[in-house]
C-alpha cells in the first residue's frame, strides 16, 4: 500500500526536488521489512537504488536493522554480480596446511632447543656454583645431561633456522600472509607459553625470597630461564607488530 501510493505520488512530484527527497526517505522508511531470503534482499536493493539511494545509505539502513557488516557487503556483491554479469573474484585466504606445518615445526624445534639450552645453562651453573651440602659425586651424571642437551641443540636449532628462513621468504613473496590466522594463532600460543614460563619463574623467585631461602645457584637459574623465555617472548611479540602492506589501486 505504501509503495503504490509512494510511486503515484512520486510521479506527481518529480519536478519538486524537495518533495522527491522526502518521498525517497519515506519510501525507504516504510519499506524496511524483514528480509530472510536472497530474493527479498535483491528486491530491496533494486528498489532502493531506483529511488536514488547510495551504497552508503543502503549499508547504513541494513546495519541499522541489525545486519552484520560482512553480510551487507556480501549482499551488495551478489547484487552487483546478478545485475552486471561480472563475477567478483573471491579473496584467497593466506592460511594453508603448509603454513600450519611450517609454524608447528618451527615452534616444536624452538621448544626443543630452548629446553636444551636451559638444561645446559642449569648444568653449568650446578658445576660452577657448588652446593656445600651436596656430596661431591652428586654431579657424576652431569656429562650425560650435557650430552643430551647438546644433542637437542645441535639437531633442533639448525632445523629451526632453516624453517624460519623459509617462512621469512614466504612472507617476503606474499606479504598478505602476515595477517594469516594460522600464523597469529600459533604465534600467540608461543607467546602464552613463554609468558607462562616468565610468570612462573618470577613467582618461584618471589616465593623463595619471602622464605629467605635464596641461594646464588637458584638466582642464576632463574635469571637464565628469564633470559631465554624473555628473548622468545620479545622476538615473537615484535613479529606480530608487522602488518601486511595496504595495496592501493593503480588508478589513484
The model's pLDDT over 107-133, given as tens digits with 9 standing for 90+, comes to 999 999 998 898 888 888 878 876 655
Confidence at residue 94, expressed as pLDDT on a 0 to 100 scale: 52
Lookup: cell for 136: 661431591
Q: What is the largest CA-CA distance in the chain?
A: 107
| pLDDT greater at residue 88 or residue 158 | 158
Q: How confident is the model at residue 160 (pLDDT cuts 50, 70, 90)?
A: very high
Apex CA 165: angle with CA 161 and CA 167, to 5°? Answer: 120
Q: Give residue limits of the domains in the chain.
A: 8-84, 97-240
Contact at 8 Å (CB) between 99 and 177? yes
Lowest-pLDDT range, 133-137, 143-147, 200-204?
A: 133-137
Q: What is the pTM for the complete model shown?
A: 0.56
pLDDT per residue as tens digits for the range 45-66: 888 888 888 888 888 888 888 8
Phi then psi for residue 251, to 5 deg, are -75, -15
Contact at 8 Å (CB) between 62 and 41? no
DSSP labels for 219-244? HHHHHHHHHHHHHHHHHHHHHHT--P
User: Helix or strand or coil: residue 12?
Assistant: helix
Distance CA 5, CA 159 (A): 74
The predicted model gives 227-250 an average pLDDT of 73
| pLDDT greater at residue 147 or residue 134 | 147
Please give the distance of CA 116 from its chain centroid, rounded to a whole number: 29
The predicted model gives 84-89 an average pLDDT of 77
Confidence at residue 245, expressed as pLDDT on a 0 to 100 scale: 52
pLDDT per residue as tens digits for the range 16-43: 545 545 544 444 444 444 444 566 777 8
Residue 162, pLDDT above cutoff 90: yes
Amino acid at each position: 500500500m505504501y509503495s503504490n501510493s509512494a510511486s503515484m505520488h512520486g510521479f506527481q512530484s518529480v519536478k519538486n526536488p524537495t518533495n522527491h527527497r522526502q518521498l525517497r526517505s519515506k519510501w525507504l522508511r516504510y519499506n524496511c521489512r524483514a528480509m530472510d531470503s536472497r530474493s527479498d534482499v535483491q528486491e530491496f536493493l533494486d528498489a532502493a537504488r531506483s529511488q536514488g539511494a547510495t551504497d552508503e545509505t543502503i549499508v547504513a539502513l541494513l546495519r541499522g536493522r541489525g545486519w552484520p557488516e560482512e553480510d551487507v557487503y556480501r549482499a551488495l556483491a551478489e547484487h552487483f554480480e546478478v545485475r552486471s554479469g561480472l563475477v567478483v573474484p573471491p579473496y584467497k585466504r593466506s592460511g594453508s596446511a603448509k603454513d600450519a606445518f611450517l609454524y608447528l615445526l618451527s615452534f616444536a624445534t624452538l621448544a626443543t632447543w630452548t629446553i636444551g639450552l636451559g638444561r645446559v645453562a642449569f648444568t653449568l651453573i650446578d658445576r660452577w656454583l657448588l652446593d656445600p651440602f651436596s656430596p661431591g659425586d652428586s654431579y657424576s651424571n652431569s656429562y650425560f645431561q650435557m650430552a643430551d642437551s647438546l644433542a637437542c641443540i645441535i639437531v633442533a636449532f639448525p632445523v629451526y633456522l632453516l624453517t624460519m628462513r623459509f617462512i621469512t621468504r614466504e612472507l617476503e613473496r606474499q606479504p598478505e600472509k602476515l595477517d594469516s590466522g594460522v600464523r597469529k594463532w600459533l604465534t600467540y600460543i608461543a607467546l602464552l607459553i613463554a609468558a607462562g614460563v616468565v610468570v612462573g619463574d618470577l613467582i618461584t623467585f618471589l616465593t623463595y625470597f619471602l622464605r629467605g631461602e635464596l641461594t646464588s645457584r637458584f638466582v642464576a637459574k632463574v635469571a637464565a630461564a628469564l633470559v631465554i623465555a624473555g628473548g622468545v617472548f620479545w622476538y615473537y611479540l615484535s613479529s606480530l607488530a608487522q602488518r601486511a602492506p595496504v595495496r592501493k589501486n593503480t588508478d589513484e
